[in-house]
Amino acid sequence: MWDLIAQGLPTSPEDPFGALVVVRRKHSLRLVLPHPSGHDAPMTVVRINAITVPEGGAEELARRFAERVGAVDQAEGFQGFELLRPTDDRDTWLVVTRWRDTEAFDAWVASPAFAHGHRGVSGPGEGRPPVAVHSELWSYEVALEAKPSKA
């Protein structure tokens, strides 16, 4: 739980950083910028699973993700998913998910649906060996968001 430490008021409509909130959890301080939607909501959290795939495993990885498209869509707080295939000589794919908050992501990770999807038992080929040789979870918050302006 975060405790409110300080809150600033907008200095002007043209200043997107005029309103800010500083919150504390235990010994950590956090600056929260206004949500891009203009609502009083925390910024989206992003979790990126960086998956190292050996040569010859890329198509199998893509196929397995395609089998599970939509599996996380109904999770509370889920906002989006992208599977990024490297276009250079890298062997690391990125699974990018966006969540309302850390608690929503943590609840999904603790869910039976997450466990089921990460055991490799999502359909035919039950008990398939992993495609990845290494996986690393990266955690981010959206600090600033820009979208095309409407003409």
Q: Is the pTM of this model over 0.85?
A: no
| pLDDT tens-digit series, residues 37-79 | 454 555 799 999 999 999 999 999 999 999 988 889 999 999 9
Ranges 114-118, 129-133, 135-139: which has the least confidence: 114-118
Domains of the chain: 3-32 (no CATH), 45-141 (3.30.70.100)
Instruction: Say how far apart CA 68 and CA 115 lie, in whole Å.
Output: 13
Q: Whose CA is closest to 96, among 76, 72, 131, 60?
A: 72
pLDDT in the model for residue 144 = 87
